[in-house]
Structure 1
Amino acid sequence: MLSKGHVLLITAQAPGKLYIAGEYAVVENGFPAIIVALNQFVTCSVEESKDFGSIVSRQYNENSIYWRRQGDEMVFDNRDNPFHYILSAIKITEQYARSLDRDLRLYHLKIDSQLDSDDGKKYGLGSSAAVTVATVKALCEFYQLPVNQNMIFKLAAIAHFEVQGNGSLGDIAASVYGGWIAYHSFDRQWLAQQRQYLNLPQLLELDWPGLNIEQLNAPANLELLIGWTGSPASTSTLVDKVSLVKAREQLEYQTFLAESRKCIQRMIEGFHQANVKIIQNEIRYNRELLKNLSSFSDVTIETPVLTKMCEIAETFGGAAKTSGAGGGDCGIVAIDRQTDLTDMFEQWTKNKIERLRLTVHVIKQSVTE
């Protein structure tokens, strides 16, 4: 927390993420995935203001918006804006602040994201989740709300879900807890129902059905490599497409879910044993499961460029697959840290695959659970 003259200035950040395994299955209640937080961040700063508030992003300079208070409501000069996740995070956090009898104030909120490149390339690192988490964290500090990581996760999950309406919220968990996590998704239909009857303090106190988040320690000799294909993909659109085949291909879909769960459970055990070979084997198996899902759902998950990236990595002993919804964006490789990767990266470059030089970001818990 900084003080600028007598004006309160608070800064919070949240890391981006990539899925390692368990994609698509994790959108079903209680199903697991493994996700990792990365050292690229969304930063949110909040500065108290006297006359009016603003929301500004370096990425959306032409779309800065200004607002005033009318009672507890925010009144905007301009409703046509790209800040849906930020506004939802503000709404939910301020609802929580009011439930704790905090007076709502005016402030300037600034967002700066490293998750897309300066020329606007989208890498698929979960920017909507990270901006939601960073905004919630900054405003919780601004209003001095008594929160821990679990509560920040729940506030950000509610805010994100109310905008997107689908997805597992695993990217929110990665942005809140950091490092490597095993994430079991909760029942979002239950959440939507409870929102109608319970206030936020009650909802934050409850155990959410199916939710489980476990921090994992990666083996010392595990190296995570990330390759970007140059073409962005829409996660929510791809998830919607796959959901359409659930009824039509029910048996195959249920088989996919059951095999994905077993695969991720074995991979978690690989982390517990610090065994890179187990982790690699399950990454390869998860890739095959996703290929099969792609085949019976008729949704392109592994694009030709991602296939090439994986094939090159495999020749160097790496276990590789798509990350997240696929359809473009990034692929991941789990490989032994001792491997000489010079030739591999040269082959990636020849095939227009950009290595993203990102590392795992670990977050220390700021509040004792």
Structure 2
Amino acid sequence: MNKLNVKGSDGLITAKAPGKLYIAGEYAVVETGFPAIIVALNQFVTVSIEESREYGSIVSKQYQENSLYWQRQGDEMVFDNRDNPFHYILSAIKLTEQYARQAGKKLSIYHLRVNSDLDSADGKKYGLGSSAAVTVATVKALCAFYKLELTNDQLYKLAAIAHLDVQGNGSLGDIAASVYGGWIAYRSFDKQWLAETRPTMTLNELLAIPWPSLSIELLTPPAELSLLIGWTGSPASTSHLVDKIALAKTERQADYQNFLKASKACLEDMVAGFRTNNLQQIQAELRHNRALLQELADFSHVAIETPVLQKMGTLAEEAGGAAKTSGAGGGDCGIVIIDRAIDTTSLFEKWRDNQIERLNLAVHLVD
């Protein structure tokens, strides 16, 4: 059993979870069983918990003015504040405490503090998956607080349910990246099956069984692979873009099915490149995936690749790298896979000249 990576001393429990970036497979991955490649990054959401007596609190350094204070009425948490930005934290608490009660644990009152370095100090939103990371970190911290031992598979499932209860859609691949770390090949579970099965099982039973179509494979990149990340300065709304694609899925069914089929083949070839340490194959399929996303953008009328992201990619290709948008697109980040032997000094200068900020992040491996 993999014990959760949690620190505790003097009654204070601290857990952290990394942010993520999608490498390839966006949009298709929301469909059951369709693959994507995702990477965890060395920027984190940290959650700390300390037992309290009379009242509890949920405090975020990023949202000091919206701190929450609560009391218990039986096993229910009762809040003073009705309007708050902490939906994912609250959902994680609800699910984890439900799991704790089923395990025979007595619920307590506590102070829960959240700190994130997934966004910049001046509030820039990089699109690194903060909602998933805070969900995972909250579940990890509470499991340690209530002395619940979860495997990574169980942690993923519990956090995925909590996140899905708030978001209502998505692939939950960002949850997998925050739990497992490193590079992963991911295929989403059948969300309809989960909706139908949840009322028939306890959480303990649900976390113990295999979930249809779910697949999480840790990948080892070729030694010469270097991942570069550029931020365009324009935050994107993933849920808004996904909603637009959902409309196109209905109106352009044949085109959408062709996109899914091509994306699946592309990602399977890219995963094969990781398994055989073939950087050129990985780069070729990254370019292929970029082209497929452009086709999706064309028939859905969704601006996945903004002019700045397009410029970022063009400059990277001229330097010998393979580039594309990361995630839903429409802004946020672009990624480049390049041979680490190539001098990228000139590339970064050109990025700066075009208002593209290099994010000096590294891949995070879970201990």
- Fold similarity call, TM over 0.5: yes
CA displacement at 1:247 relative to structure 2: 2.0
**Structure 1 residue matching 2:19: 3-state secondary structure:** strand
**Structure 2 residue matching 1:74: 3-state secondary structure:** strand
CA displacement at 1:246 relative to structure 2: 1.1
Which string of whole-angstrom CA distances, capped at 9 and with x for unpartnered residues, describes residues 65-101 of structure 1? 1001111000111111100000000000000000000
Q: Which residue number corresponds to residue 83 of structure 2?
A: 80
**Structure 2 residue matching 1:244: 3-state secondary structure:** helix
CA displacement at 1:195 relative to structure 2: 1.7
CA distance in 2, matches of 1:3, 1:317: 49
Q: How many residues align?
A: 361
Q: Does 1:2 align with 2:8?
A: yes
CA distance in 2, matches of 1:70, 1:219: 54
**Structure 1 residue matching 2:222: 3-state secondary structure:** coil
Give the letter for the 1:88 counterpart. S
Q: Which residue number corresponds to residue 212 of structure 2?
A: 209
Give the letter for the 1:239 counterpart. V
Q: Does 1:282 align with 2:285?
A: yes
**Structure 1 residue matching 2:251: 3-state secondary structure:** coil
Q: Does 1:133 align with 2:136?
A: yes
**Structure 1 residue matching 2:249: 3-state secondary structure:** coil
**Structure 2 residue matching 1:287: 3-state secondary structure:** helix
Aligned residue runs from structure 1 range 256-335, under 5 A: 256-335=259-338
CA displacement at 1:2 relative to structure 2: 3.1
Q: Does 1:25 align with 2:28?
A: yes
**Moved runs in structure 1, 4+ residues, more than 2 A?**
1-4
List alignment gaps of at least 5 residues for structure 1.
365-369
Within the candidate set 146, 150, 164, 1:147 is matched to 150
Within the candidate set 166, 189, 202, 1:186 is matched to 189
Which string of whole-angstrom CA distances, capped at 9 and with x for unpartnered residues, describes residues 2-54 of structure 1? 333xxx21000000000000000000000000000000000000001111100
CA displacement at 1:242 relative to structure 2: 0.0
Q: Does 1:104 align with 2:107?
A: yes
Give the letter for the 2:328 counterpart. A
CA distance in 1, matches of 2:228, 2:322: 10
Aligned residue runs from structure 1 range 233-252, under 5 A: 233-252=236-255
CA displacement at 1:259 relative to structure 2: 0.5
Within the candidate set 21, 34, 40, 1:37 is matched to 40
CA distance in 2, matches of 1:39, 1:85: 21
CA distance in 2, matches of 1:322, 1:30: 22
CA displacement at 1:127 relative to structure 2: 0.3
CA distance in 2, matches of 1:281, 1:3: 48
CA displacement at 1:173 relative to structure 2: 0.1
CA distance in 2, matches of 1:195, 1:9: 33
Q: Which residue number corresponds to residue 230 of structure 2?
A: 227
CA distance in 2, matches of 1:201, 1:348: 49
Give the letter for the 1:164 counterpart. Q
CA displacement at 1:300 relative to structure 2: 0.6
TM-score (normalizing by structure 2): 0.98
Within the candidate set 67, 70, 91, 2:70 is matched to 67
Give the letter for the 1:261 counterpart. K
TM-score (normalizing by structure 1): 0.97
Q: Which residue number corresponds to residue 4 of structure 2?
A: none
Give the letter for the 1:353 counterpart. I
Give the letter for the 1:61 counterpart. Q
Within the candidate set 191, 196, 201, 1:198 is matched to 201
CA displacement at 1:102 relative to structure 2: 0.2
CA distance in 2, matches of 1:307, 1:2: 46
Give the letter for the 1:321 counterpart. K
Identity %: 68
CA distance in 2, matches of 1:359, 1:83: 28
Q: Does 1:168 align with 2:136?
A: no
Q: Which residue number corresponds to residue 3 of structure 2?
A: none
What RMSD in Å do the two structures reach over aligned CA positions?
Answer: 0.6
Q: Does 1:158 align with 2:156?
A: no
Give the letter for the 1:156 counterpart. A
Q: Which residue number corresponds to residue 12 of structure 1?
A: 15
Give the letter for the 1:86 counterpart. I
CA distance in 2, matches of 1:249, 1:196: 34
More divergent stretch after superposition (141-150 vs 322-331) = 141-150
**Structure 2 residue matching 1:247: 3-state secondary structure:** helix
CA displacement at 1:350 relative to structure 2: 0.4
**Structure 2 residue matching 1:281: 3-state secondary structure:** helix
**Structure 1 residue matching 2:342: 3-state secondary structure:** coil
Which string of whole-angstrom CA distances, capped at 9 and with x for unpartnered residues, describes residues 99-157 of structure 1? 00000000000000000111111000000000000000000011011211000000000
